[in-house]
Amino acid sequence: MPEPGLKLALVSLGCPKNRVDSEVMLAQAAAAGYVVAADPADADVIVVNTCAFIGPAQKESVDSILSLARYKAQGSCRALVVSGCLAERFAHDLLAEMPEVDAVVGTGRYREITTVIDDVLHGRRQAYLGRYQPGTDGLVPLPRLVTTPGHYAYLKVAEGCDHRCSFCVIPSLRGPNTSRPLPELITEARQLAGMGVRELIVVAQDTTSYGLDLYGRRALPELLRALAGIEELAWIRVLYLYPQGVDDALVEVMASHARICPYLDLPLQHSYPAVLRAMRRPADTDSTLARLQAMRAAVPGLAVRTSLIVGFPGETEEAFLHLTGFVEQARFDHLGVFTYSREESTEAAALPGQLPEKVKNERQRKLMLLQHRISTEILQGFVGNEIEVMLDRNIGPGRWLGHTRRQAPDLDGAVYLKGVDDGRPGEIRRARVNRVTAYDLYATAL
């Protein structure tokens, strides 16, 4: 047990999957007797859960560590612990080059956070690494201290990834795809629903691979059917779907259950066959377009999100023009465009044809300008229509910020809603769209 009254603050960086790990660590610390502090300046222990996916994320993580380290000199901080992907990737470098850091905790050991902190407070400075062994928790989910607004939360269904994309470090940091047992996930989902969660967002590194290691089959459709039976949940959303894993069974489940949002998150990365092959990604763009058309026909109102990488080694002007044409044809509802980040230890880092940052940035700008127009055109079609809006937060008298089934919170655009005097977060209201911008809707409650 910690000393009475010791305060712990946790700063979580990176993706929603990382956030779930942070929530587990917070709950572990609270159960051990730590007081969770909102402000790191007041904390005796600070944990930074980091991201290391690409260069900018690594820089943000390092900057955060250095910024928080000042509380060891100026505040009450006695222990600064770094966890997550940066800790896993650069554990010994962090300890050697940052004397402010007292311990690093890799991606497989975050569940031992209270042991790590206890060691630090007793003068032991070291790296805690090693793969998490599935099944050690039985079928009882670890508690989580949910840090999202209380009406929505993430459900992480698996850890790691079996794909070997040439630009990606995640498999080396998180290991192979390791699914959690389905009964465990249903239990956790029911617990979250009992806490007031109205929207459950299902995540993994590759959500479509859920169940392959445990059951020898893709079990995501089965999981979604079970989640759709939890009546307290209003909406269920799925993120991070590997394109080739989206089969007819998954599309049928999305089309058949009203609680499952008509929302498809497909990180396609590129369209040009030669670039996709160099990325070690599926390279049949024509079948992708045909599949998108079929899925939109099967699931009424389907919104499709993707992410793309520009400036990959060997991406010629012809390849980039092919990509812009693909975006024009596909007409994605939501699109994120990233410039290629050359990550050491990845296959792509050694490829010829590395492009200047100026070229990457200009291609990103051009693609986002194209998407700006496409998104505006798509949203214009909603003017005058009725929509369902989940209320997220009050932004003034009678005014709320919310989102629709077609918008993932904290990821896509939003709805600015007026005419709601008695709302509460998580409540669903019908509204009429008055006007739109490129990414947001403005509506009046009915």
Give the type of residue at 35.
Answer: V
Mean pLDDT of 59-85: 92
Whether the predicted model's global pTM rises above the 0.85 cut: yes
Mean pLDDT of 331-335: 98
Band of residue 254 on the pLDDT scale cut at 50, 70, 90? very high
Bridge-based pairing state of the strands 199-203 and 235-238: parallel
Between CA 365 and CA 377 the distance in angstroms is 19
Q: Residue 138 above 80 pLDDT?
A: no
Report the percentage of the chain scoring pLDDT > 70: 97
Between CA 430 and CA 45 the distance in angstroms is 45
Band of residue 144 on the pLDDT scale cut at 50, 70, 90? confident
Residue ranges per structural domain of the chain: 7-128, 152-380, 386-445
CATH superfamily of 152-380: tm_1862 like domain (3.80.30.20)
Between CA 136 and CA 312 the distance in angstroms is 40
Architecture of domain 386-445: Beta Barrel (2.40)
In this structure, are residues 381 and 347 in contact, taking their beta carbons and an 8 Å threshold? no
Mark out the alpha helices in 75-233 (DSSP H runs): 85-89, 91-97, 113-121, 170-174, 182-194, 212-215, 220-228
Between CA 19 and CA 220 the distance in angstroms is 21
Q: Residue 142 above 90 pLDDT?
A: no
Give the pLDDT confidence score for residue 416 in this predicted structure.
98
Q: Residue 101 above 70 pLDDT?
A: yes
Q: Among candidates 143, 233, 235, which has minimal Cα distance to 184?
A: 143
Give the pLDDT confidence score for residue 380 in this predicted structure.
98
Q: Which residues pair with 336 in a beta bridge?
A: 307
Q: Among 47-61, 191-205, 405-419, whose mean pLDDT is lowest?
A: 47-61
Band of residue 141 on the pLDDT scale cut at 50, 70, 90? low
Contacts of residue 96, defined as CB under 8 A and 6 or more positions apart, other chains included, come to none
Between CA 432 and CA 200 the distance in angstroms is 25
Architecture of domain 7-128: 3-Layer(aba) Sandwich (3.40)
When the pLDDT of each residue in the chain is averaged and rounded to a whole number, the result is: 93
Per-residue pLDDT tens over the stretch 173-217:
888 999 999 999 999 999 999 999 999 999 999 999 999 999 999
In this structure, are residues 52 and 60 in contact, taking their beta carbons and an 8 Å threshold? no
Please give the structure tokens belonging to residue 308. Answer: 């793309």
What is the chain's Cα-based Rg?
22
Band of residue 136 on the pLDDT scale cut at 50, 70, 90? very low
